Amino acid sequence: MASLALGIDTGGTFTDGVLFDLERKEILAKTKVITTRHNLAAAIDNCLDILLGEAKWIDLGHLKMVSLSTTLATNAVVEGQGAEVGLILIGFTPQQSLPTPHIALIDGGCDIRGNIRSALDLPAARNAILKMKDQVDAFAVSGYLSVRNPVQELQVQKLIAELTGYPVVAAHQLTSALGLHERTNTAVLNARLMPLITDLINSVKKSITARGIRAPLMVVRGDGSLISEQVAREKPIETMLSGPAASIIGALTLSGVQDGIVVDVGGTTTDVAVLQNGRPALNKEGARVGGWLTRVKAADIVTIGLGGDSLIQVDSRGALTIGPQRVFPLSWIASCYPYLTDELAVIREADYTSRHTPPATILVFIKEPLHLKLTDTEKQLIELIRESPHTLHQIGETLRREVELLPWQRLVNVGSVHRAAVTPSDILHLTGEFTLWNSDAAKLGVKMLARRFRAEAGSFAQAVLEEFHFTLAALIADRLAADQGAPGSLLEEAGSRFLLRQMLSGKKRKKGVIEFSMAVNSPLIAVGAPVSAYLPAAAEKLNARLYLPESAEVANAVGTVSGQAVETVSLLIKPGEGGGYVVFGPRSREKFMDFNQAVAYAREEGRRLACARVAASTAAEVEVMINRQDKYAQLGEASAGQGNDRKMFIESMIEVSAIGQPWS
């Protein structure tokens, strides 16, 4: 009997889906649909309908799980969306800005050894909670050195639950790492995301239940592992960067390469990550999203605004740029509204070489602008495109306004209107390497932009692709240089960028007195669509081996069903005051006079907690891995016969990981 899974990845541009045979590691059906960014559930519905329509023969009882990776958490943090959060700080005053204005400070806190340094002021906590209750939707609690002793956080958490019934997050429950500010950010953002992820999960559950699917719903973490829907509801912060993480796991599954560089070219961005021993390399500091540094374990991913939907511009001086802005490709929008090809043809012969506005720009209505007082012309513009998009030229003709004077930029900035213009996807329609949509519209737009570049369309297309390939190769080189200890980005300084340009220009480089070249020893694994048009040239510049796995265009969706359920618990052993040893765990601290007893307790407690956590995401047999790292300080120079007597014990870190398949 086959064990099947449905995997869905909601990206910024596309939502990908696969029906996957878990035992044979085989894709049975796949699809790629446009993401409806303001209604992710609609794109997921569309994806499910197509997949199940292509596989009507399957017995839904054989589905072991439905797994989801989503941009929801990342986008919400970047855009400042989510619940209003009340933050109770115990024993410290913040030195940096925090992601909520609703903050109360109360007395309390511990020292580095976990001793209570100041009594908890529960009456002040009660007053603060009741004062905030009508202003917020959720709470977060963060105490000074609570990772050494969480008792005060737990007391305030319990009080909030009793007084409000609101969702409440204690910082120590999300991370055991030091870093007061980062830990507090993590708690606040987690509380902010809880209602959003709950709404999405409820929508997805409703969709799969309506189709007769009873399989459990799993969600991808930022490190590529899988968690149950219940864990995702409680810790939505852990789903940040789940899309890029899913692509890494998908690349591993499709290529079989255990060590390499994963390059995911999407519609909006390109992500570069490193695979080490079959696992994504993790960001040691924690994920940074929307300007907030957190303590969330996530894959170490470098991202730039370069993708198939990146805006291509040529300024009045003829300078070419690609991205970082995202627009709809002309080829795609014209496939949805065929009359736009005629509107583009009307302006084909117009002379736009001296104008600032890209000639082939189309405006598409997205939603009503909120909290924005519109001018009369802005109102007229929105009414004109509300039902159907138009070129700027057509809008100017209808409103009898010069194109340069049309007030559309503010509407784009607030997300009420989106642009369509020439993109790399349109370039590929001209070259014939990608012909999914309307090639005629793409060719018209490219020819207009080529005129501003003072070149024929074919030459202009090659210039765009060369710049795209160089930027891809430079991003990969920059990421690898950082891993080798480079003090700064190779892309930021003029000198290093010059060297990059010389090294990556390949056969087009003029021979000179000095020659530069680059060789990347790790293979590149390319995923996304259509990477076959972009990555071979970039790999050639880097002198790197390239893997283009089959079904690379849905690697993210494959990654959602290929990960494992993994829970890791860290316990720290340090010397105690007056002798002995203290074990600091996620929930408590225990003292032992004997070091071996402390180690045995830490191992067993870590095993118990890790297995209990992973049980929420898997019913399968669990494998436990224990790693111990001891740290000593050298006391002078070791002499013969003294050995470790010349060392002083500092600490021992014990990490216990419980690993299991999310299906059985």
Residue 347: exposed, middle, or buried by beta-carbon count in 10 A (0-12, 13-18, 19+)? buried
Give pLDDT tens digits for 137-158: 999 999 999 988 999 999 999 9
Question: What residues are paired with 30 via a beta bridge?
Answer: 18
Give pLDDT tens digits for 397-441: 999 998 888 999 889 888 889 999 999 999 999 999 999 899 999
**Of residues 512 and 647, which shows the higher confidence score?**
647
The confidence band for 167, taking pLDDT boundaries of 50, 70 and 90, is: very high
Least confident interval from 102-111, 184-193, 519-528, 634-643: 634-643
The confidence band for 113, taking pLDDT boundaries of 50, 70 and 90, is: confident
| Residue 637, pLDDT score | 64
| pTM recorded for the entire structure | 0.84
| Residue 472, pLDDT score | 92
CA-wise closest residue to 184 among 152, 227, 221, 147: 147
Report the mean per-residue pLDDT for the chain.
Answer: 89
| Residue 136, pLDDT score | 93
Q: What is the mean pLDDT of residues 474-497?
A: 84
| pLDDT of residue 605 exceeding 50 | yes
d(CA 273, CA 279): 11
For strands 279-280 and 270-276, give the pairing: antiparallel
Q: What is the mean pLDDT of residues 594-601?
A: 96
| Residue 256, pLDDT score | 93
| Residue 350, pLDDT score | 61
d(CA 283, CA 301): 8
**Of residues 176 and 101, which shows the higher confidence score?**
101
Residue 567: exposed, middle, or buried by beta-carbon count in 10 A (0-12, 13-18, 19+)? buried
| pLDDT of residue 269 exceeding 80 | yes
| pLDDT of residue 351 exceeding 70 | no
The confidence band for 515, taking pLDDT boundaries of 50, 70 and 90, is: confident
Q: Would you call 248 helix, strand, or coil by DSSP? A: helix
| Residue 498, pLDDT score | 83
Domain ranges of the chain: 4-78+197-292, 81-193, 310-458, 462-551, 564-660
Angle at 116 between CA 110 and CA 122, to 5 degrees: 95
Q: Would you call 46 helix, strand, or coil by DSSP? A: helix
d(CA 301, CA 287): 9
| Residue 234, pLDDT score | 93
Q: What is the mean pLDDT of residues 259-280?
A: 91
Query: 4-78+197-292 and 81-193 share one CATH topology?
Result: no
Give pLDDT tens digits for 176-200: 888 899 999 999 999 999 988 998 8
d(CA 333, CA 34): 12
| pLDDT of residue 461 exceeding 50 | yes
The confidence band for 643, taking pLDDT boundaries of 50, 70 and 90, is: low
The amino acid that residue 510 corresponds to is K
Alpha carbon distance, N-terminus to C-terminus of the chain: 12
Judge whether 423 and 327 are in contact, CB under 8 Å: yes
pLDDT over 70 percentage in the chain: 95
DSSP assignments along 161-195, one per residue:
HHHH---EEEGGGT--S--HHHHHHHHHHHHHHHH
d(CA 223, CA 233): 17
| Residue 353, pLDDT score | 47
Q: Would you call 139 helix, strand, or coil by DSSP? A: strand
* Tokens (6 digits) for 297: 């374990």
CATH superfamily placement of domain 4-78+197-292: ATPase, nucleotide binding domain (3.30.420.40)
SS3 assignment for 483-522: HCCCCCCCCCCHHHHHHHHHHHCHHHCCCCCCCCCCCCCC
The confidence band for 511, taking pLDDT boundaries of 50, 70 and 90, is: low
d(CA 20, CA 638): 58
d(CA 445, CA 409): 20
Architecture of the domain spanning 81-193 = 3-Layer(aba) Sandwich (3.40)
Least confident interval from 87-101, 121-135, 345-359, 521-535: 345-359
Q: What is the mean pLDDT of residues 517-527?
A: 92
| pLDDT of residue 545 exceeding 90 | yes
The confidence band for 640, taking pLDDT boundaries of 50, 70 and 90, is: low
| pLDDT of residue 122 exceeding 60 | yes
| Residue 354, pLDDT score | 43
d(CA 602, CA 605): 5
* Tokens (6 digits) for 205: 């559950």
Q: What is the mean pLDDT of residues 320-328?
A: 90
